[in-house]
Amino acid sequence: MTGMSRGPIRLDRNENAYPPSATAIAAMHEAIDGGANRYPGAEAEALEVRLAQFHSVDAEQVVVGCGSRELLRLAVGLYAGRAGTVIAASPTFELIDRFAQESGARLVSVPLTADHTHDLDAMLARLDGTAALVYVCNPNNPTGSLTPRKALEAFIERLPGNAHVLIDEAYHHYVGNSSEYASFIDRPVDDPRVIVTRSFSTIHGLAAMRIGYAVASTGTAHALAARRLPEGVTTAGARAAIAALADGEHVRRNADANVNQRQEFLNQANARMLKWIDSQTNFVLLDTLRKASDVVAHFESHGIQIAGPFQSFDRHVRVSIGTPDAMREFWRVWDIKYKHAM
């Protein structure tokens, strides 16, 4: 099978199965050929200006970082560190737990609702008067599920004054035409405590370049920028991101391919009588009907990496949507052990 012999098949990290756009690749080559021996210059600032133009915000509201993970870590330290509180769903992006521990914050995990949305009322109830950051990954990782925009707006209006909310929109571009969803960058709310992050690692296929960004009030953006890693954004990464922003057709092709390949994955799951959580992302949380750890080990023994188990989902594995060849191999390996065990 073409492309299957160069190492493990990675379906565990929600990466884009396809490379960046040709213009982004060309920008990376040009940056490397013309200055790989030089430290970054003003490229990060140029990317911030371009992002501000793209989102119709002031350049001082944008801060880029070494992946959106750096910005999440900085926000946790800034608004919940040293005995503050981080409120997050369970399960959600697993690094939030680590960032809270590293900053000295207390992590309060709130289970998702029965329909896999954030339990916003329960999150509000857990705020106890200490400085706090509420983390909302929407669509959520690992469930791929959406929390409705109207519910989030009402939640933000009820937040106490000492709490900030970070809305992680890493999978924004994969969301279809849902009336329940709208980006808080594209349709901002008038509240300086709202921070929104995005990543170039997903739809743009630039995970190796480590580029993410936050859009926030000017004061919050300045506070985050003051704490970020100096020269943490590479010349090649920044130039590739600028080029990627200009290639809307590449984004549309990636999103369309993901919809089609995700639906084929669900068709295959249905054919095997498996259940799954409805996903608006480039991954699916699949109910294996057995211990997820055993399933992960089985796939690993056949050169395929998948993720799981997760808190409260000990039978589920998270499968990133790969190329058609990779997904056919996934189901071939599934059938080796489980086809006749249903």
Angstrom distance (rounded) from CA 101 to CA 93: 14
pLDDT in tens, 261-302: 999 999 999 999 999 999 999 999 999 999 999 999 999 999
Instruction: Confirm if 197 and 68 have CB atoms less than 8 A apart.
Output: yes
Helix (H) or strand (E) holding 301: helix 292-301
Q: What is the pLDDT of residue 3?
A: 39
- Identify the weakest region by mean pLDDT among 2-6, 262-266, 330-334: 2-6
pLDDT in tens, 173-193: 999 888 999 999 999 999 999
303 has a pLDDT exceeding 90: yes
pLDDT in tens, 47-68: 999 999 999 999 999 999 999 9
In this prediction, residue 2 has a pLDDT band, given cuts at 50, 70 and 90, of very low
105 has a pLDDT exceeding 50: yes
Give every strand in the sheet of 194-199, ordered side by side. 62-66, 211-215, 194-199, 163-168, 132-137, 85-90, 106-111
Please report, as a single letter, which amino acid is at residue 168.
D
pLDDT in tens, 75-89: 999 999 989 999 999
pLDDT in tens, 206-238: 999 999 999 999 999 999 999 999 999 999 999
Closest C-alpha among 87, 90, 86 to residue 102: 86
In this prediction, residue 239 has a pLDDT band, given cuts at 50, 70 and 90, of very high
* Both tokens assigned to 166: 């970070």
In this prediction, residue 6 has a pLDDT band, given cuts at 50, 70 and 90, of low
Q: What is the DSSP letter of 307?
A: B
- Work out the average pLDDT over 143-161: 97
In this prediction, residue 342 has a pLDDT band, given cuts at 50, 70 and 90, of low
Where do the structural domains in the chain lie, given as residue ranges? 9-19+249-338, 22-245
5 has a pLDDT exceeding 70: no
Q: Per CATH, the architecture of 22-245 is what?
A: 3-Layer(aba) Sandwich (3.40)
In this prediction, residue 41 has a pLDDT band, given cuts at 50, 70 and 90, of confident
- How deeply is 248 buried, as exposed, middle or buried, from its count of CB atoms within 10 A (0-12, 13-18, 19+)? exposed
pLDDT in tens, 317-326: 999 999 999 9
Instruction: Confirm if 164 and 133 have CB atoms less than 8 A apart.
Output: yes
Q: What is the pLDDT of residue 1?
A: 35
Topology of domain 9-19+249-338 in CATH is Aspartate Aminotransferase, domain 1 (3.90.1150)
- Work out the average pLDDT over 230-252: 96
